[in-house]
Amino acid sequence: MYLSICRDYEEMSVRCAQLIAAQIRLEPASVLGLATGSTPVGCYKELIRLYNEEGLDFSEIETINLDEYVGLSPENDQSYRYFMNHNLFDHVNVDPQLTHVPDGLRDNPQESAEAYETQAEWIGPIDMQLLGLGPNGHIGFNEPDDHFSVATHVVELTETTREANKRFFSSIDEVPTHAITLGIGQIMKARKVILIANGEAKAEALVKALFGPVTPEVPASILQLHPDLTVFCDEAAASKIVENGF
């Protein structure tokens, strides 16, 4: 594992984008695994800047997003498809046909999850997977559990996660109760993984993920077994790592 403690969110985002840009330059037809949420927004901004100012070319890139809420259409501004279009895809020369997000609108979400798994298996392995970290240690929407879920699946979101994500909705009642998420299997099969985390609220989850026992109660702890993991975090998220002398 390579752990880089950055001064602040800005530096973390730029370092993360630089690594993704290097991947794109080295392998222009890379498959990128992408995340939504607040954490990667700065990284996506920097990638857009690199596209506009330094000619970073996304034309051959294929993307697989981690997750999508069940019941939200791509036009819904809280859907992850909308998020990706708005925060990255609409601003670079990626081919929209080569961007994939689970279909949250299918009548049978389980079938949608299975179809996404097949698609990921066909397109993958992912060359570089970007992950944020939930305050409860989730990656994608792989929530704390008594076992690691390997395949893409439908998940009932925990109250902690719905609580953490309610800031994007007008009330907690509007936060969907279920999501479709890539499983631990596709994430661990990625050739390279980048985990990003910022802010005090992630400090506990980050120290447990990187230095605690490997357990499905902290889904991100599985990343300790990944052979090519890079972690970029800010000083606040690293505070418990430093405090515990790791």
Residues involved in catalysis: 67, 136, 138, 143
HEC-encoded secondary structure of 133-195: CCCCCCECCECCCCCCCCCCEEEECCHHHHHHHHHHCCCHHHCCCEEEECCHHHHHHCCEEEE
**CA distances, 6 to each of 152, 197, 198, 221 (Å):** 32, 10, 9, 21
Is the Cβ of residue 24 or residue 155 nearer to ligand F6R in the bound state? 155
Is the Cβ of residue 23 or residue 198 nearer to ligand F6R in the bound state? 198
Is the Cβ of residue 104 or residue 140 nearer to ligand F6R in the bound state? 140
Query: Residue 117 class from Cβ within 10 Å (0-12 exposed, 13-18 middle, 19+ buried)?
Result: buried
- Binds ligand F6R (CB under 6 A): choice among 6, 17, 20, 139: 139
Task: Pick the closest to residue 127 from 50, 187, 39 (CA basis).
Answer: 187
Task: Confirm or reject binding of residue 132 to ligand F6R (CB under 6 A).
Answer: yes
Q: How far is the CB of 53 from ligand F6R (least distance, A)?
A: 25
Q: How far is the CB of 134 from ligand F6R (least distance, A)?
A: 4
CA distance 180 to 35: 13
Task: Pick the closest to residue 125 from 27, 221, 17 (CA basis).
Answer: 27
What x/- string results for residues 155 through 194 when contact with ligand F6R is judged by CB under 6 A? ----------------------------------------
Task: Confirm or reject binding of residue 102 to ligand F6R (CB under 6 A).
Answer: no
Site for ligand F6R in 50-69 (CB under 6 A): 66-67
What x/- string results for residues 31 through 50 when contact with ligand F6R is judged by CB under 6 A? ----xxxxx-----------
Task: Return residues touching ligand F6R (CB under 6 A).
Answer: 35-39, 66-67, 132-134, 138-140
